Structure 1
Amino acid sequence: MGQKLRVCLAGYGILLGTMAQADCPAGQEAFTSCQIEGRNTEVFVCFDDHVATYSYGPTGGTPELFLSENIEHVDFKPWSGLGKAISESVTFYNGDYAYDVGGGFDRPFSDEEMAQPIRRFGWVEVTQRGERVVSLECIPDTVSYGFGGGIYDAKVAAGLTWSWDSKTWISELIQPTATPSLMQSQPYNPAEDCLPASEFSLNGVAMGDPLDKLGKLGSPEPVEDPTSSGEKIDRMTLVGMALDIFEDVVIAMSSTSPDWKMPSGLRVGLTRGEVIRILGRVPNGYAATSQTFVSHACMENQDTAEWSILIEFGQDRRVSGISFARPWY
């Protein structure tokens, strides 16, 4: 998506981007909008330097659904730069539901195509927990899509960089370290990825900590054995984190809140690209677009060799959970 190409196509962005301006919130401009085929409804995605908004409802009427997200966090997917069709999309999340809205047009390559009306297209796809609920098509003549600048430039101005490998945005606040977090465990052949044992910690609470070190956090309660092994397990439930304790030692931890961070800065809420930057690379056996990453502690002694980490990504391609555990647990 070169700057020269954006400049060359700016005229098309102006031509195709005038329909929705009056229906955007005050101070915002349209990214894309259209009327939905066969539904007598319309959709608008608008933005300014700080916020992007989504509205859907009856044509000319009050929106049935209105969502907003800050520019840094909004899930915007830029054009790949390939093919005849130019299109971009924005996805808004609302609980288990995701609303992906896109707009685009075919770019002309000849004088004959330049003389023809531009083919426009757009869509709204709704999913629930990643499963498609409905796909809607736009009436072509109603599509407004202003390619060039827009949300892309707003995100770049906010200090974000698009990663094509992970298909996520990376904050400039997340910088590579001199020593990558992800290492290789040499005793194995071939060598396996591992993390230092010091990384198996959240806000200073670590795997292997004795119960008496956790006194200020609260008291654990017995829970039903999750593995049916017959062992007695106690659980300490905190805001955004849970600790499992066996024989007065922490044997498992799980976090669902960005407030709990690993020493390297890994936490819930980071994009997949940001996790890869902190790790230093994609873990062996996984792709930059994988829904999970799994690794284990570098072998320092018999105990740490058993620790494993599971990083899970949600439908928004951000970390939804981080878990530490022993393999048998």
Structure 2
Amino acid sequence: MGGLWLVMGLLARGAEAGCPQGQEAFTSCQMEGLGTEVFVCFDNQTATYSYGPIGGPADLTLSESIERVDFEPWSGLGKAISESVTFFNQDYGYNVVGGFDRPFSEEDMQRPIRRFGWVEVTEGGERIARLECIPETVSYGFGGGLHDVKVAAGQTWDWDSQTWISDAVSSASIPLLLKNHQYSDEFDCLPPSELRLNGIKMGAPVGALSKFGTPKATDATSFSDEPIDRIALIGANIDFFQDVVVNMSTISPNWQTPSGIRVGLTRGEVIRILGRVPSGYTARSQNFVIPACPDIPDTHSEDAYREWFALIEFGQDKRVNRVVLLTSTE
């Protein structure tokens, strides 16, 4: 085992030259046939990505906080040890992979270590390019590194959702998701009281929200092709039909449901809040659509039950990018 750690140390040497001052290299390499190089570096607060001509100024530099950086640790399986870090720039993602084959015997230790790596570029979650590393230039410091820094920041890796979960996100003693039986079918649902954003509830009358302004006419229509009115707030839209709230949507982390579901949470954090993966979905689904429970009255509302749904949408960074509460029928 001591020989393996020695090999990993040798693989990690020599990459710090391309890192910002005070940061150490996680992985780096030169790209096959392009005359370019990539560096992923980090300290206790920030991870950085840089790509550009060998020895020259970077063409692209990105940074992300340790808490938010999308780092995927080694699975512990197979002969190859590899880990990846993904940085996002608007609709683009840059996934950097570094790794090597671990030696299992003294004979393996006598052979050159096979190194590998690449950069995969995505747009809107779809791969548009894959740049291969020159194997002998791959530097990858397995052991500790980003994993230990993220753990020190109070995060735990969840293999099911392939995301990190903050220790600050706790699950309720009773799962938020409830089981509902209707017409011999069983499905998960949310208490109607959960379908609120910052205290504004579905089905609320327009008069109760007068402090937010007056709804304005929009081009949107209801299911019966009637016009929808809207109050556009900072970070959220509140839609009305017949002077009642029928839809709410947000792309801002400043708006949240009573349980704390909000933009910016990882998929694993949402699942922890819900108590389990909603029926009909997996821990890696791109969205969850969850109905309100039809047989549980909203004790905070005088309104009759409506068919309400919560849409939780995840972006390519595996974090919530939109929360929508909506009414399917009027």
TM over 0.5: yes
| Residue equivalent to 1:268 | 263
| Residue equivalent to 2:300 | none
| Residue equivalent to 1:247 | 242
Looking at structure 1, the residues matched to 306 and 179 of structure 2 have their Cα atoms a distance apart, in angstroms, of: 13
1:73 lines up with 2:74 in the alignment: no
TM, length-normalised to structure 2: 0.95
Looking at structure 2, the residues matched to 216 and 188 of structure 1 have their Cα atoms a distance apart, in angstroms, of: 42
**Secondary structure of residue in 2 paired with 1:277:** helix
| Residue equivalent to 2:179 | 184
Looking at structure 2, the residues matched to 136 and 143 of structure 1 have their Cα atoms a distance apart, in angstroms, of: 13
1:325 lines up with 2:326 in the alignment: yes
| Residue equivalent to 1:224 | 219
By how many angstroms is 1:88 displaced? Answer: 0.2
The answer (yes or no) to whether the contact 1:12–1:146 under 8 Å persists in 2 is: no
Shift of the 158–8 alpha-carbon distance from structure 1 to 2, 3 Å rule, reads: farther
Q: Deviations over 1:190-226 (max 9, x none)?
A: 3211101110001111101110111111221111134
Q: Deviations over 1:28-62 (max 9, x none)?
A: 10000000000000000000011000000000000
Looking at structure 1, the residues matched to 197 and 222 of structure 2 have their Cα atoms a distance apart, in angstroms, of: 24
Looking at structure 2, the residues matched to 128 and 156 of structure 1 have their Cα atoms a distance apart, in angstroms, of: 29
**Secondary structure of residue in 1 paired with 2:220:** coil
| Residue equivalent to 2:121 | 126
Looking at structure 2, the residues matched to 128 and 60 of structure 1 have their Cα atoms a distance apart, in angstroms, of: 27
> 1:212 corresponds to which letter in structure 2?
G
> 1:46 corresponds to which letter in structure 2?
C
1:233 lines up with 2:234 in the alignment: no
Count of residues paired in the alignment: 324
| Residue equivalent to 2:92 | 97
**Secondary structure of residue in 1 paired with 2:32:** coil
**Secondary structure of residue in 2 paired with 1:324:** strand
Looking at structure 1, the residues matched to 54 and 222 of structure 2 have their Cα atoms a distance apart, in angstroms, of: 54
**Secondary structure of residue in 2 paired with 1:191:** strand
Q: Deviations over 1:230-255 (max 9, x none)?
A: 21210111111111101110011111
By how many angstroms is 1:188 displaced? Answer: 4.5
Looking at structure 1, the residues matched to 18 and 110 of structure 2 have their Cα atoms a distance apart, in angstroms, of: 30
> 1:325 corresponds to which letter in structure 2?
L
By how many angstroms is 1:227 displaced? Answer: 5.3
Looking at structure 1, the residues matched to 85 and 7 of structure 2 have their Cα atoms a distance apart, in angstroms, of: 20
| Residue equivalent to 1:293 | 288
Greater mean deviation of Cα atoms: 297-306 or 87-96: 297-306
1:47 lines up with 2:20 in the alignment: no
Q: Deviations over 1:48-91 (max 9, x none)?
A: 01100000000000000001001000000000011111000000
1:194 lines up with 2:189 in the alignment: yes
**Secondary structure of residue in 2 paired with 1:251:** strand
1:206 lines up with 2:201 in the alignment: yes
The answer (yes or no) to whether the contact 1:296–1:305 under 8 Å persists in 2 is: no
Shift of the 211–305 alpha-carbon distance from structure 1 to 2, 3 Å rule, reads: closer
Alignment RMSD, CA only?
1.5
Looking at structure 2, the residues matched to 226 and 86 of structure 1 have their Cα atoms a distance apart, in angstroms, of: 54
TM, length-normalised to structure 1: 0.95
> 2:53 corresponds to which letter in structure 1?
P
Greater mean deviation of Cα atoms: 29-38 or 226-235: 226-235
| Residue equivalent to 1:84 | 79
Greater mean deviation of Cα atoms: 302-311 or 79-88: 302-311
The answer (yes or no) to whether the contact 1:47–1:151 under 8 Å persists in 2 is: yes
The answer (yes or no) to whether the contact 1:32–1:145 under 8 Å persists in 2 is: yes
Q: Report the identity percentage.
A: 60
In structure 2, stretches of 5+ residues that fail to align are 298-302
**Secondary structure of residue in 2 paired with 1:15:** helix
Q: Deviations over 1:88-138 (max 9, x none)?
A: 000000000000001000011222211100000110011111111210000
In structure 1, stretches of 5+ residues that fail to align are none
Q: Deviations over 1:153-180 (max 9, x none)?
A: 0000000000000000000001121111
Looking at structure 2, the residues matched to 73 and 31 of structure 1 have their Cα atoms a distance apart, in angstroms, of: 16
The correspondence for 2:160, drawn from 165, 176, 199, is 165
The answer (yes or no) to whether the contact 2:220–2:228 under 8 Å persists in 1 is: yes
By how many angstroms is 1:228 displaced? Answer: 6.8
By how many angstroms is 1:23 displaced? Answer: 1.7
